[in-house]
Structure 1
Amino acid sequence: MNSTLEAPYIPEEVSPWWLKGLAIFMALMSIFMLLSVASGVLTPIFIDRLMPEDFEEIEPYPEDGTDEEKAEWNENNEFWDDMVEYMDEMMEVMKFQAVHSGILAIIGLFSVPVLWRGNRDLGIKLVGAWIGVNLLGGMGLMWILTRSGLLMPEFATGRGGEEWGSSAELMESITLVTSWAQIIVCNICFLGILGLVASKSKPPTRLISAADVPPQS
Structure 2
Amino acid sequence: MDINSINDHSPWWARAFSIFLAVMLFFTVANLFYIEIFGINGINHYSFGNEPINPGEYPENGTSEEQRKYNYSLSEWEDYQAYQEMMQELEDSSLTEITQVFAVLSILVGIPAIAMFWTQNEKMLQFGIAYGAITTIGEVWKAYISSDIIASFMESVPGGADYSWMAKISVLTSGICGIVFIALAIVLHNMYHNLNTMPESGFHLKVDNPGFSDSNHGDNDL
Aligned to 1:214: none
* Matched letter for residue 43 of structure 1: F
Q: 1:10 to 1:79 in 2, by over 3 A?
A: closer
Q: Which of the numbers 110, 113, 116 marks the counterpart of 1:114?
A: 116
Give distance in 1, aligned partners of 2:199 and 2:135: 43
Residue 29 of structure 1 corresponds to which residue in structure 2? Answer: 24
Does 1:14 find its partner at 2:30? no
Contact 2:15 2:118 (C-alpha < 8 Å) held by counterparts: yes
- Provide TM-score, normalisation by structure 2: 0.62
Going from structure 1 to structure 2, the CA distance change for 1:89 and 1:204 (only over 3 Å counts) comes to same
* Residue identity in the other structure for 2:174: I
Shift of the alpha carbon at 1:23? Answer: 2.5
Cα distance, 1:203–1:195 mapped onto 2, change above 3 Å: closer
Deviation string 1:147-175 (CA, Å, 9 cap, x unpaired) is 5x222317x625xxxx77xx83x643454
Whether the 8 Å CA contact 1:14–1:204 is kept in 2: the answer is no
Q: 1:180 aligns with which of 171, 176, 180?
A: 171
Alignment of 1:134-173 (within 5 A): 134-147=135-148, 149-153=149-153, 157=156, 168=161, 171-173=163-165
Deviation at 1:77, TM superposition (A): 4.8
How far apart are 1:197 and its partner, in Å? 0.3
Task: Check whether the contact 2:34–2:42 (CA below 8 A) recurs between aligned residues.
Answer: no
- Could you say if the C-alpha distance between residues 139 and 208 of structure 1 is closer, same or farther in structure 2, counting changes exceeding 3 Å? closer
Secondary structure in structure 2 of the residue aligned to 1:153? helix
What secondary structure does 1:151 align onto?
A: helix
Contact between 1:34 and 1:105, CA under 8 Å: does it hold in 2? yes
Structure 1 residue 131: deviation in Å? 0.9
How much has 1:144 moved relative to structure 2? 0.7
Matched with 1:129 is: 130
3-state SS of 1:150 partner: helix
SS of match in other structure, 1:119: coil
For 1:37 and 1:60, locate their aligned partners in 2 and report how far apart those are by CA, in whole Å: 34
Q: Aligned equivalents of 1:205 and 1:75: distance in 2?
A: 67
Provide the aligned length of Structure 1 versus Structure 2: 189
Structure 1, unpaired ranges of 5+:
1-7, 212-217
**How many angstroms does 1:114 deviate by?**
2.9
CA contact (8 A) 1:131 1:190 kept: yes
- Bigger Rg, which one: 2
AA paired with 2:21?
M
| Structure 2: runs of 5+ lacking an equivalent | 206-222
1:34-73 equivalent positions in 2, closer than 5 A: 34-44=29-39, 50=47, 58-59=52-53, 66-67=59-60
- Give a deviation string over 1:28-63, Cα, whole Å, max 9, x none: 2211222222332233286599477xx7xx547669
Q: 1:38 to 1:207 in 2, by over 3 A?
A: same
Cα distance change of structure 1 residues 130 and 87 upon mapping to structure 2, 3 Å threshold: same
Determine the structure 2 residue equivalent to 1:215: none
**2:139–2:174 CA contact under 8 A, matched in 1:** yes
